Amino acid sequence: MVSSGCAESSLSQETAFRQILAQHAARYPRFQVQDLYKLVYQAAMGSEHAVTDASQARESLEREVDRLMDGLQEPVIEPISADGQVVRVNLRPYVAKGGDLEALLKGVLRTAKEYKGTVGQLRRYWYYAKRMAEAGALGLPVNELKSFFYEMQVRGFPAVHHSQEYRSAYRPAYRVVAREFLVLDQGTL
């Protein structure tokens, strides 16, 4: 038997994550199933997949900042996990507001090293997304979601890149960070 506290917690987690999914669907209407999976993956697993070593992470960040192109209006921080503890820091507004790249890099590296997500959480988030798609709230085909998730499961839930359509439409430029490792001064928010 599930305690009411646990059931309420699961319900509030689902509600919170569905709000995140709805915000992303509204902000990025051309997102594909692959982009949804990437969001779910990052929300559950953090940024470990993106960091192989510190010097490579620094070079990648510097190179991406040097090549930033205009994009849509984005918040500096986008919560992506139901508890708000995993966020995307969008580079365009972060840099425009004078954000400290070294501080961001430290947060990314610490997240990769110390934040441990779970496949169980990934499965829960995907289940919430599937339920939204079944209700027509994401504009994505349910059968495509099911087959994509099955393929990712068979492959051991790997990280993926954004779809070409998403990259072309939105030019994503962000870093995934655990909020507890993110140091921002007031001017950056």
DSSP string, 99-159: --HHHHHHHHHHHHHH----HHHHHHHHHHHHHHHHTTSS-S-HHHHHHHHHHHHHTTS--
Q: Look at residue 185 in the predicted model and tell me its pLDDT.
A: 62
Instruction: Give domain status of residue 137, yes or no.
Output: yes
Count of the separate structural domains present in the chain? 1
Q: Beta-carbon neighbour count of residue 101 at 10 Å? A: 15
Reported residue count of the chain is 189
Per-residue pLDDT of the chain (189 residues; tens, 9 = 90+): 333 344 445 659 999 999 999 999 999 999 999 999 999 999 999 986 667 788 898 999 999 999 998 777 899 999 999 999 999 999 999 999 999 999 999 999 999 889 989 999 999 999 999 999 999 999 999 999 999 999 999 999 999 999 999 999 999 999 999 999 998 765 555
φ, ψ of residue 170 in degrees (nearest 5): -120, -10
Q: Is 19 helix (H, G, I), strand (E, B) or coil?
A: helix
Q: Look at residue 6 in the predicted model and tell me its pLDDT.
A: 45
- CA pair distance 65, 152, nearest whole angstrom: 30
Instruction: Give domain status of residue 60, yes or no.
Output: yes
Instruction: Give domain status of residue 81, yes or no.
Output: yes
Instruction: Give domain status of residue 175, yes or no.
Output: yes
Instruction: Give domain status of residue 174, yes or no.
Output: yes
Distances (CA, A) of 54 to 13, 32, 110, 176, 178: 33, 31, 10, 15, 17
Domain range for 117: 4-181
Instruction: Give domain status of residue 188, yes or no.
Output: no
Tokens of 98: 């004078």
Instruction: Give domain status of residue 144, yes or no.
Output: yes
